[in-house]
Structure 1
Amino acid sequence: MGLLTIGAFARATRLSPKALRLYDELGLLPPAHVDPVTGYRRYAPDQVERARLVAWLRRLGMPLVRIRHVCSLDAADAAREVRAFWARAEADFAARRDLVAFLVGHLEREDPAMTATVSPLGIRYAAGSDAGLVRTSNQDTAYAGSRLLAVADGYGDGGAPASAAAVDALKYLEADGVPAGGLLDVLADAVEQAERAVHGAVLAGGGAGDTGDTGTTLTAMLWTGSQLALVHIGDCRAYLLRDGELFRITHDHTVVQTMIDEGRIGAEEAASHPQRSMLVRALGRGADATADMRLHDAGAGDRYLLCSDGLPTVVPDAEIRRVLSGAGEPEEAVRELVALANAAGGPDNVSCVVADVVAGA
């Protein structure tokens, strides 16, 4: 079979002539022959399969630059790249789904008809932090108050002041009532303030303007009276114990978690991976300071745990659930969880905040 005209090739591949011209300009799908006088394009029959692959990848929403890379790979490697792309797309979709749930929940709470019958609730809380058995200093900050719960895990030479600055920047939320503006705006503003505070703390500690090697994670919850609004960036974690079941309600922003999401490694391999502590999002890194935000309807009997990664790195979820289920008061749960981390070697700082949702304001 001879070369195909651009019209015939377009029909065979279900790509428009306009798209084929664009892909030619980008070097993604150059024609087999271009007439030097007329500029008319012709394509080889064996280019049909590649063109169809491009069409399907575009339907997935894959950027053209990444499509060009996929098309340069052999079949097995191309399959892995497509799997990794889709895993990331699903993670992004899940993040947007959480934001939609946040907005819907918040707007419903703005409707008096939806809130008139809500029973008054309150929280009991405790916080604790320990350097562990290996580290010579503690770069964690833990805080628990009547409205604000927070854990931050600093890193780098200025990690301790960075984590303290992030939490201190949120303490204005302790004031009675949610500040003017919607809850989503309040939380977004709080993250921006925390980012500026961390940057300032690093510079005050002798940084030269590049805070890439110093910063902090932050996981915080704001109590609104019937809900807990979550802000999360980094690899501290938040858990919910409800009716005896333990639910992890945050997603780690680490290189290793990204590799798990993309199907490149499994959970067992991740536990010993050399990059397991490398962050992809944190405060103090400018463009990387994009926090996850969620809204949780609270119920009497719920118990929330916020912790730095020094706890789940060495203590299995089953043990965390056992302690949270058995400990009476939040202070007791905090003490037992810190003790468990140290009994497992205490290789890192460990901080915990435990809050119980109780009936009555």
Structure 2
Amino acid sequence: MRQGPGRDEDGRRLLTIGAFARAARLSPKALRLYDELELLRPAEVDPDTGYRRYAPGQLAQARLVAWLRRLGMPLARIREVTALPRAEAAAEIRAYWAGVEAETAARRDLAAFLVDQLSRPSPTAAPDAPGNGEPRMTSRTLSLRFASATDAGLIRPVNQDAAYASARVLAVADGFGAGGAEASSAAVESLRQLDGADVPPGGVLNLLEDVSLRADEAVREAAEGDASVGTTLTALLWTGAELGLVHIGDSRALLLREGELLRITQDHTPVQALLDEGRLTAQEAASHPQRALLTRALTGAGAVGAGTPGDRSPDLRLHEARPGDRCLLCSDGLYSVVPAEELRAALAAADTPGDAAAELVRLARAAGGPDNISCAVADVPTP
């Protein structure tokens, strides 16, 4: 019961806004903002002067708000977190930080991509070429040898995966939600136009960005705005000398080079974030209850997390291609049940991409086929 004006329910004297700000390590201006946003209401407001006073017991919440702001958490989300019980608030903060780290990793990859591109010599016109000396890109005429395969597996009643392979493009998408099959098909179909696309001078990054935007729009239309419907998308574009990558979700791109199987994508999942932090082993990750949860995907609402706290759009980058490389794109219905060494051995032993794709599907089915299975395989040609 209140003990009179200027005291809290335990009879302790209320703190002026200045004293409370110093104790909470917040500014009076911040406290006024948090009051307006209903993040931290004063215990008492003088009806005549509007002067705010705070109870000592509010210091814990004030400090929590300050710490969350230092994390960069948006105020709207802080309001939700501070209203939760302690255990749920901790889980929400953990989820938020996993998203921040995923966004940071994506920006790091983009920075590395740009540094690599800008560090390379600019392509120049041949000495006898007409024109004003503007850059001109030359490309090889060799094409990839390719194949793709998709299978519903032995458990799922519907195949929500989609796979595509051509002389220029490889793509795999793993749909989810009630319209997952339509979403994955729309994402893959949006890439077919790349088969005849020209790559302008220095324009590979722009082309990859156009591809990701086109896929995002196609999925939104297919999902009809339903945020619970979406798809992963992992695709490679053969430019004639390099492989351009578009990747979002947990489908994977791998490269068999000189007998070694290299993974060139990172899963956009909370489990991958825990692996990167060293908080999980590979064995623990394989059986983690949240291993299928995505932090990034294309959905009916656009790219997951778009605009908060950053635009979590697909990873875009270039990879050097060497003659004799064999590329594999696959959904988790393959790599989650077929060990990496078996994948490597099957890719190395197959005479053609078609043989490899067929054998990989067979291996996944032999392992129980609990999920849809999709793969696309291509060989980088030898000049």
TM-score by length of 2: 0.73
Letter aligned with residue 310 of structure 1: G
Question: Percent identity of the aligned residues?
Answer: 57
Query: Any unmatched runs of 5+ in structure 2?
Result: 1-11, 125-134, 305-311
Aligned residue number for residue 182 of structure 1: 203
Show the counterpart of 2:242.
Answer: 227
**2:212 touches 2:314 (CA, 8 Å); kept in 1?**
no
Give the aligned length: 347
Report the AA paired with residue 172 of structure 2.
Answer: V
Shift of 1:228: 1.5
* CA deviation after TM superposition for structure 1 residue 165, in Å: 4.4
Q: Does 1:63 align with 2:74?
A: yes
Report what 1:171 is aligned to.
Answer: 192
Q: Which residue of 2 aligns with 1:127?
A: 148
Q: Does 1:303 align with 2:326?
A: yes
Deviation of 1:58 after TM superposition, in Å, equals 0.9
Change (3 A) 1:191 1:141: same
Question: What are the within-5 Å matches in structure 2 for residues 327-342 of structure 1?
Answer: 327-342=350-365
The 1:184–1:131 alpha-carbon spacing in structure 2 relative to 1, beyond 3 Å, is same
Q: Closer, same or farther in 2 for the Cα pair 1:72/1:193, shift >3 Å? A: closer
Secondary structure class of the residue paired with 1:37: coil
CA distance in 1, matches of 2:314, 2:216: 14
In 2, the alpha carbon distance for the partners of 1:262 and 1:66 equals 22
Q: What are the superposed Cα offsets for residues 117-147 of structure 1, whole Å, 9 maximum, x if unpaired?
A: x997974433233344455665544322222
Q: Is the CA contact 2:216–2:303 (under 8 Å) kept in the aligned structure 1? A: no
- Which residue pairs with 1:144 in the alignment? 165
User: Hey, what does 1:104 align to over in structure 2?
Assistant: 115
Residue of structure 1 in register with 2:253 after alignment: 238
After superposition, the CA RMSD in angstroms is 3.9
Match of 1:95 among 101, 106, 122: 106
- Quote the residue 2:129 is aligned against: none
Alignment match of 2:49 (pick from 38, 47, 69) = 38
Aligned-pair distance for 1:220?
A: 1.1
Q: Deviations over 1:289-325 (max 9, x none)?
A: 7741321322425432101332124223342233234
- In the TM superposition, what whole-angstrom CA distance separates every residue of 1:307-354 from its partner, at most 9, and x where no partner exists? 133212422334223323444543332222111012123344422112
CA distance in 2, matches of 1:44, 1:198: 51
Do structure 1's residue 355 and structure 2's residue 366 form an aligned pair?
no
TM-score by length of 1: 0.77
Query: Unpaired segments of 5 or more residues in structure 1?
Result: none
How far apart in 1 are the matches of 2:79 and 2:190? 45
Shift of 1:18: 0.6
The aligned amino acid for 1:169 is S
* 1:326 to 1:291, Cα distance in 2 relative to 1, 3 A: farther
Question: Residue 82 of structure 1 aligns with which residue?
Answer: 93
Residue 309 of structure 2 is matched in structure 1 by none
Query: Is 1:260–1:270's contact at 8 Å kept on the other side of the alignment?
Result: no
How has the CA–CA distance of structure 1 residues 30 and 262 changed in structure 2, closer, same or farther, with 3 Å as cutoff? Answer: farther
CA gap of 1:10–1:249, structure 2 versus 1, over 3 A, is same
User: Which amino acid counterpart does residue 331 of structure 1 have in structure 2?
Assistant: G
Q: Which amino acid aligns with 1:285?
A: G
1:294 is matched with: 316
Q: Which residue, out of 338, 342, 345, partners 1:322? A: 345
Secondary structure class of the residue paired with 2:148: strand
Cα pair distance change 1:29/1:236, threshold 3 Å: same
| Distance in 2 (alpha carbons) for counterparts of 1:7 and 1:170 | 59
Letter in 1 for 2:203: G
